[in-house]
Amino acid sequence: MLNIFPISRDETVAIYSFTNDDAEPVREYLRDILATAGAYQKYLISRLLLLHAENFVVSPALFDTWSDVKRDTIRDFFLVTIRYGSEAQSEHLYLF
């Protein structure tokens, strides 16, 4: 389970939860995210969310700050990955 909470304009908290039985494979799956920090970590979390979340909500106030290119890139990536994974990378996939 992944929950993401913006706690201020400059801080966001990501909470991963899993059972003890799943701890080892989950930690391995999240290895790259847990080993990084800053902007690249946010990118990896954003990508993970777009690849695997069935639904998610973006604040209208944040959404309204995004360019049309960013909106289109995120929408297209999300739609493509509903059925298939993607190795696509883009500077526009940052959600926060």
- The mean pLDDT of 4-32, rounded to a whole number, is 90
pLDDT digits (tens, 9 = 90+) for 24-61: 999 999 999 999 999 899 999 988 888 888 777 888 98
Q: For residues 58 and 61, what is the distance between their CA atoms, to the nearest angstrom?
A: 8
Q: Enter the pTM of the model.
A: 0.75
Q: With a cut of 70, say whether residue 9 has pLDDT above it.
A: yes
